[in-house]
Amino acid sequence: MLYTESIVVPPADKILSMYEQSPWPVELLDECCNVLYANPAYYRVFNLPENEEVVGVPSRVLPEVLPDGRGRQSLLNQARKEGYWKGELQAAGAHSPFPVRLSLYPVTDQSGQTEYALCYEDIRQEVEFRESLTHRQSMIAIRNRQTQMGELLSMIAHQWRQPLTVVSSLVGNIQLKVQLGGVEPAYLLVKLERMAQTVQSLSETIDSFRHFYAPTKYKTEEDLVVLVKRALELLTPSLHKLGAQVEFPAPESPLKVPVFAGEFLQVVLELIINARDALSKETPEGPILRISVYREGEFAVLLVENNGVAISSEVLPHIYDPYYTTKEAIGGMGLGLYMGKLIIENHHAGTLTATSGDGWTRFCCRLPLEVAS
């Protein structure tokens, strides 16, 4: 027996009862988008009196012109061609428009005449929740950026301190020579040249930091090794201050990945800062930061390892939670790893995972490669 022969079509009165008791509004439309039938939920949603005539009136849900500029007739055509249409629109409510999720599909009777069933639900609460979540994520991103800018200023101050000391010393030497009345032109030229070189170094430092967080709207093919080196340039002084050994065996050939460069640099910087903070505490042997970049199948892998203080099994499941931090004493806000995971997974379709054991903590970032055919 064919499956179709086993289908039992319920009586018409049961079908009508199902629509009458549905908590969601249901309309039946003709080819001109005029209402042929509307269930009681339709009256409730639009605050219509029960005796108000709606048959023959254009649908209150499908606007004459859609937000993308198409006419509502195009939705009927699409539903007839593809079998259904689903989407979200703003319905014209009694006081103000409100969002609804729609399902539109053609219904053909035995005579071959086609009409259209339109079912929808009020999704105001769902939309409000989505907007609230988006706003919350935006605020978290802003706070994270403020934290990173504070770290950035700290790095600039660290990078500038030594060159400014050099300039101050050179100025002092020249002043002393002037007071003693013995400034020779050759001596002055040497000192001025040294000052010019130092000032140029300061300018290059500013340029490096200025472009570090430059926002990018589109993905570009970037060499993963170059991006890691840019991040290391900024953090090397603070790593050397800890006496940390930095191991970064770069691959022989470039490993290019499609990324939002500015966003990905934030993640690399956060992973290295996280490792540096772990290394700042006492370690059983010399502090080591090890960074590896390699290809694994159709993925590019960035592995950041350190032999600093391990992440406990109680803390590890929560390291990506927003505002969760174990660094309150040094001003940690618990946003860096949360934003890093969001950037890698939501913006780059990759993964960011962490493990901690056998004396090493490892953060592994996997990014899909776009391989040309």
CA distance 256 to 225: 8
- Neighbour-count burial of 86, counting CB atoms closer than 10 A to its CB (0-12 exposed, 13-18 middle, 19+ buried): exposed
Stretch 328-352: mean pLDDT, rounded?
76
Same domain membership, residue 102 and residue 59:
yes
Same domain membership, residue 197 and residue 334:
no
Q: What is the DSSP string of 344-357?
A: IIIIHS-EEEEEEE
Over 70: is that where the pLDDT of 155 sits?
no
Tokens at residue 336, please? 């860096």
Residue type, 324: Y
- Is residue 157 assigned to a domain? yes
Which of 122, 151, 166 is where one domain is finished?
Answer: 122
Please tell me the predicted confidence (pLDDT) of residue 93.
60
Stretch 332-354: mean pLDDT, rounded?
82
Over 60: is that where the pLDDT of 8 sits?
no
How confident is the model over 240-283, as pLDDT tens digits? 888 899 999 878 788 999 998 878 888 898 899 889 888 887 66
Query: Which of the given ranges, 38-42, 59-63, 214-218, has the highest pLDDT on average?
Result: 38-42
Same domain membership, residue 366 and residue 218:
yes
Same domain membership, residue 372 and residue 234:
yes
DSSP class of 337: H
The CATH number of the domain holding residue 140 is: 1.10.287
Question: pTM of whole model > 0.85?
Answer: no
Over 90: is that where the pLDDT of 367 sits?
yes
CA distance 148 to 266: 8
Please tell me the predicted confidence (pLDDT) of residue 51.
77
Please tell me the predicted confidence (pLDDT) of residue 60.
78
Same domain membership, residue 231 and residue 183:
no
Same domain membership, residue 366 and residue 241:
yes
Same domain membership, residue 34 and residue 173:
no
The per-type count for the chain, helices as H runs and strands as E runs, is 9, 12
Please tell me the predicted confidence (pLDDT) of residue 240.
83
How confident is the model over 195-204, as pLDDT tens digits? 887 777 677 6
Same domain membership, residue 218 and residue 181:
no
Same domain membership, residue 97 and residue 46:
yes
CA distance 231 to 272: 8
Please tell me the predicted confidence (pLDDT) of residue 156.
66
Same domain membership, residue 222 and residue 204:
no
Q: How confident is the model at residue 361 (pLDDT cuts 50, 70, 90)?
A: very high
- Is residue 2 assigned to a domain? no
- Is residue 193 assigned to a domain? yes
Give the chain's domain count.
3
CA distance 66 to 59: 13
Q: How far is the CA of 366 from the CAs of 84, 113, 174, 260, 354, in angstroms?
A: 38, 55, 55, 15, 12
Q: How far is the CA of 200 from the CAs of 155, 186, 206, in angstroms?
A: 18, 21, 10
- Is residue 279 assigned to a domain? yes
Check: CB of residue 291 under 8 Å from CB of residue 248: yes
Please tell me the predicted confidence (pLDDT) of residue 371.
43
Q: How far is the CA of 78 from the CAs of 64, 83, 153, in angstroms?
A: 16, 8, 56
How confident is the model over 70-79, as pLDDT tens digits? 888 888 888 8
Q: How confident is the model at residue 13 (pLDDT cuts 50, 70, 90)?
A: low
Query: Which of the given ranges, 155-159, 257-261, 288-292, has the highest pLDDT on average?
Result: 288-292
- Is residue 85 assigned to a domain? yes
Tokens at residue 133, please? 């979540």
Tell which residue, 149, 137, 144, has the closest CA to residue 336. Answer: 144
Residue 198: CB atoms within 10 Å: 17
Beta-strand runs (E) in 195-323: 220-223, 245-247, 256-259, 288-296, 299-306
Please tell me the predicted confidence (pLDDT) of residue 204.
64
Check: CB of residue 55 under 8 Å from CB of residue 21: no
More confident residue, 190 or 96: 190
Tell which residue, 61, 78, 75, 77, has the closest CA to residue 26. Answer: 61
Q: Which residues pair with 101 in a beta bridge?
A: 88, 121
Residue 8: CB atoms within 10 Å: 4
The CATH number of the domain holding residue 41 is: 3.30.450.20
How confident is the model over 227-248, as pLDDT tens digits? 898 888 778 878 888 889 999 9
Tell which residue, 50, 51, 47, 56, has the closest CA to residue 27. Answer: 56
More confident residue, 141 or 225: 225
CA distance 111 to 366: 58
234's enclosing H/E stretch is helix 224-241
Over 60: is that where the pLDDT of 142 sits?
yes
Sign of CA dihedral 86, 89, 92, 97: positive
DSSP class of 343: I
How confident is the model over 299-336, as pLDDT tens digits? 999 999 999 888 888 888 888 887 666 655 444 555 67
Tokens 């001003």 sit at which residue?
331
- Is residue 4 assigned to a domain? no
- Is residue 97 assigned to a domain? yes
Same domain membership, residue 255 and residue 354:
yes
Same domain membership, residue 157 and residue 134:
yes
Which of 170, 193, 212 is where one domain is finished?
Answer: 212
Which of 195, 212, 229 is where one domain is finished?
Answer: 212
More confident residue, 81 or 121: 81
Over 60: is that where the pLDDT of 211 sits?
no
Please tell me the predicted confidence (pLDDT) of residue 364.
95
The pLDDT mean for the chain works out to: 79
- Is residue 6 assigned to a domain? no
Per the structure, the complete domain to which residue 39 belongs is given by 11-122
Over 80: is that where the pLDDT of 30 sits?
yes
Q: Which residues pair with 247 in a beta bridge?
A: 290
The CATH number of the domain holding residue 322 is: 3.30.565.10
